[in-house]
Structure 1
Amino acid sequence: MTQHPTTPSLSSSHGLKAFLTVLIPILLAFSLSQFFRSAQALLAEPLRVELTVSPEQLGLISGSFHFAFALMQIPVGVMLDRYGPRLTNGCLMLATVVGVLIFANAQSVVGLMIGQAVIGLGCSAAFMSALVLAARWVAPEKFAATSGLIVSFSLLGVLASATPLAALVETHGWRMVYYGLAGLSVFAVILDFLLVRDTPPGRAKTDQKGETVVEALRGMVSVWKNRQVWLLCGVAFFSYPTILTVRGLWGGPYLHDVFDLGPVGVGNILLIMTIGMILGPPTYGQLSRKWAGKTHGLIVFAVLVGAVTCLLQAFVGPVGIGVAALLLLLHGFLGSSATLNYAASREAVAEHQIGRALTTINLATFAGLFVLQGIAGLIIGRFDAGAPDGYRWMFIFLGIGLGLAGTCFWFGARRKKG
């Protein structure tokens, strides 16, 4: 990623105002991305009823977004260096519009998968664009806190995919809702081209051509040789993917089948989990800023306690909806510590490799989403439709995965950095 000799601290009101102006369109795109990857939890029941979609197929439909998203991470890194966040995110968001329309008109599982994949491709640059803008506009010591706030605000999209989505689906149907989302995606594209600026005011623009594709790939290989990055990838594969496997897909069917809740009831409980997800990123960002050098410890704590939360959900959650909701709230809060993975990856590599490290962590995150949601669907599909045991074993699987990732990171990070 092209680096600059200095980074403004945004200490002046003009600098902060300018940064927020360029960031708002990217935040809208990122919020839409969060919505699309979380909406399947509320769409699962309508899709099962209208198109007789099985649990395994639901996993594939949702996973298609994450698979396409993950495949795009290396190209997105190159595009960001060559063309900057404004053009990269704006052009790819056009694909989001196409994908939403495909999904809204789909009449089969294949059509739904294609729509989700195209949406995932279109949304693939939003988060990285926000992080690149933060790296260029914000002082390095404020990066973790800023990235935490970026993720927290983007989770308004997850918030919208809870009770508001449930109410809209009940009154207008899921297809009409997606037509409206296509229009909102067009609006995000327009704002991107009108407002986003790749560099702060008064700062000379650099050569946007950047590296060649071959040079970029060589740089990626050098990052992949870093042991700390590999350890962080292991955590990234499970931490955020685990909460989105629940919040983004299987939490809705779990609440419907185990507690017999209707769409709005499901949305209300998922809203509670989303609140935890919103509170987590700024909290961890401020803690990492206050406790400099303790990022690894915070990651280990959040991941291991998150593993315990999943296991408690498996064995204690079904006792009552209040217990399940509390555990989902805690899981959402702990799982959103995944933003620390990006801060730690920035610390793990040389300055000129930061962009590649961020992209690598994002690649691991969305590869994990594709794999975990698919495996969860296979686990649930092995039991009778709506059987609580299927969800119990899903939570056990997620808890064990988180525990192994956290333990490996704990011991691996204690060794001298490679």
Structure 2
Amino acid sequence: MTEHIKHSPPKARTSHFILVLAPILLAFSLSQFFRSAQALLAEPLRGELAVTPEQLGLISGSFHFAFALMQIPVGVMLDRYGPRLTNGLLMMATVVGVIIFANAQSVLGLMIGQAIIGLGCSAAFMAALVLAARWTAPEKFAAASGLIVSFSLLGVLASSTPLAALVETHGWRTVYYGLAGISLLAVVLDLLFVRDNPPGYVAPDHKGETVFEALKGMVSVWKNRQVWLLSGVAFFSYPAILTVRGLWGGPYLHDVFSLNAVEVGNVLLIMTIGMILGPPSYGQLSRKMPGKIHGLIVFAVLVGAGACLLQAFIGPWGVGVAAVLMLIHGFIGSSATLSYAASRQAVAEHQIGRALTTVNLATFAGLFVLQGIAGLIIGQFDAGSPGGYQAMFMFLGIGLAVAGISFWFGAKRKRD
């Protein structure tokens, strides 16, 4: 690091940081909700608009495709303009996208709405991480990012049983109109309360950076071997979890175990609890085990692989078995916190935004690809066939295993 942060007293800095971060966390929680809600909306969309498995994959994937496309410009914008303006302005698009989705009368309309929502939510997580990088000491970044991810998963929590209950009583369109209002509130709070830097922080001055210089900086990040290794594992790790929790877990539980919407929401709630507890746990482990972050990443990815393969072969034995495997996958299989912490350490401070968004780009490219392929796999079988879901879980498990082993040998070679 060539730049240094001038820290204010810890107590004042921490309390101020929480106030500054809160609006970004609301935006990030909404992002988590929107990317996870399709698991509960699958049945209403099937019934009202006759959406097929392949089309459901495209609808959900539209969010992730637009989100991924925005990661390169978001990285440049965060380093150039800061989290407050970048997230606040993009979240305005979220409001528009939610309204379009709520009014959609076709698959195309749903895809357009989801894509605009994805575009609008594309800066929230990275904005929170950039704020954490500026407001916390480097050795505390992994723990801070773990808490950020954990808190944001309240949005995933809301997309389980609470969403199922609201959809049953008010309909999914009414729910989305309400979400448009909450998204607008997030914009207002962002612009009012978010501050890019703590008191005494001397920020690197990159506002005079030309487009060519910004792109050159992006290329230098892409040349970083560590960033490439982390991007490779990011393509499979969290995308596999969200392919289950955010999309196909709901239809799987409905079709294989004949659960109703609220019962499906209850099981997905169990997986969500694991997803909430996992990131801060790994954040604390990384502080207590310095130098072991690569081993922790490999462990998490291989646990995820095992959970998916077991889900394929013993999950159908009973809903209790399936729920436990989902809990294990969500809790122990999440290495996202570790990947972002490692990427933050791999580059100079003025490139943090671009490094984080590069890893995030790989994550959401993986979501688009994995969810789409999962839909194609399930679509090859008869509607509601357990065989389709078994094949999907096998695909996810094998992909995770390959990613974990490849990362292990790549990181080991780097150390050697």
Aligned to 1:139: 137
Q: Tell me by how many angstroms 1:350 deviates.
A: 3.8
What TM-score, normalized by structure 1, do the two folds share? 0.97
Change (3 A) 1:105 1:293: same
How far apart, CA to CA, are the structure 2 residues paired with 1:3 and 1:44?
A: 50
Matches within 5 A, 1:184-199: 184-199=182-197
Q: Say if 2:79 and 2:350, in contact at 8 Å, map to a contact too.
A: no
Q: 147, 150, 156: which is aligned to 1:149?
A: 147
Q: Tell me by how many angstroms 1:207 deviates.
A: 4.0
Gaps of 5+ in 2: none
How far apart, CA to CA, are the structure 1 residues paired with 2:329 and 2:171?
A: 30
Aligned to 1:283: 281
Q: Tell me by how many angstroms 1:78 deviates.
A: 1.4
Aligned to 1:51: 49
Q: Say if 1:7 and 1:138, in contact at 8 Å, map to a contact too.
A: no
Q: 13, 17, 20: which is aligned to 1:19?
A: 17
How far apart, CA to CA, are the structure 1 residues paired with 2:288 and 2:93?
A: 40
Change (3 A) 1:210 1:137: farther
| Matched AA of 1:5 | H
* Number of equivalences: 416
How far apart, CA to CA, are the structure 2 residues paired with 1:152 and 1:190?
A: 23
Change (3 A) 1:351 1:83: closer
Aligned to 2:67: 69
Q: Percent identity?
A: 80
How far apart, CA to CA, are the structure 1 residues paired with 2:2 and 2:246?
A: 35
Q: Tell me by how many angstroms 1:170 deviates.
A: 0.1
Aligned to 2:304: 306
How far apart, CA to CA, are the structure 2 residues paired with 1:153 and 1:203?
A: 26
**RMSD value, Cα:** 1.5
Q: Deviations over 1:109-152 (max 9, x none)?
A: 00000000000000000001001101111000000000000000
Q: Say if 1:21 and 1:195, in contact at 8 Å, map to a contact too.
A: yes
Aligned to 2:212: 214
Aligned to 1:82: 80
Q: Say if 1:101 and 1:182, in contact at 8 Å, map to a contact too.
A: yes
Aligned to 2:5: 6
| Matched AA of 2:362 | A
Q: Tell me by how many angstroms 1:347 deviates.
A: 2.6
Q: 337, 352, 377: which is aligned to 2:335?
A: 337
Q: 106, 109, 116: which is aligned to 2:107?
A: 109
After the TM superposition, which of the residue ranges 255-264 and 77-86 deviates more from structure 2? 77-86
Q: 33, 36, 46: which is aligned to 2:34?
A: 36
Q: Tell me by how many angstroms 1:337 deviates.
A: 2.0
How far apart, CA to CA, are the structure 1 residues paired with 2:293 and 2:213?
A: 31
Change (3 A) 1:203 1:7: closer
| Matched AA of 2:289 | W
Change (3 A) 1:3 1:197: farther
Q: Deviations over 1:146-183 (max 9, x none)?
A: 00000000000000000000000000000000000000
Matches within 5 A, 1:227-266: 227-266=225-264
Q: Tell me by how many angstroms 1:237 deviates.
A: 0.2
Q: Say if 2:204 and 2:350, in contact at 8 Å, map to a contact too.
A: no
Gaps of 5+ in 1: none
